[in-house]
Amino acid sequence: MARRPNGPDQHAGIHRGVHYSLKRNSAPGYWRYAYALDDKVHSGRVQGRLPLLAIRRVTMRIDRDLRGHDDATDAGSPLA
């Protein structure tokens, strides 16, 4: 019989000023995440058996969205 690893079933944190939440999905090895950036909620699913791996993948997505957000706001400025 397969054993479920001992670890938290959910996690909430702040990365670069962005609040995010992470919850274990019913499918083994998958986690559901959600975070808000500029009044828009981003949510989805990441794969990772270890909770720290899932957290790392969510923080990487936040970093990617923040970079894309900075590029979009710089394009609208007259100094760009």
Per-residue CA distances from 6 to 9, 49, 70 (Å): 9, 11, 39
Q: Kindly state whether residue 61 falls inside one of the protein's structural domains.
A: yes
Q: Kindly state whether residue 4 falls inside one of the protein's structural domains.
A: no
The residue that leads in pLDDT, 38 or 1, is: 38
* pTM, 2 dp: 0.76
Q: Kindly state whether residue 80 falls inside one of the protein's structural domains.
A: no
Q: Kindly state whether residue 49 falls inside one of the protein's structural domains.
A: yes
| Domain count within the chain | 1
Q: What digits encode the pLDDT tens for the residues 30-49?
A: 999 999 998 899 999 999 98
Q: Kindly state whether residue 5 falls inside one of the protein's structural domains.
A: no
Q: Kindly state whether residue 22 falls inside one of the protein's structural domains.
A: yes
Confidence of residue 70 (pLDDT cuts 50, 70, 90): confident
Pairing of strands 30-37, 18-24: antiparallel
Mean pLDDT of the chain: 85
Q: Kindly state whether residue 20 falls inside one of the protein's structural domains.
A: yes
Q: Kindly state whether residue 68 falls inside one of the protein's structural domains.
A: yes
pLDDT computed for residue 30 by the predictor: 95
pLDDT computed for residue 80 by the predictor: 47
Domain that holds residue 14: 10-75
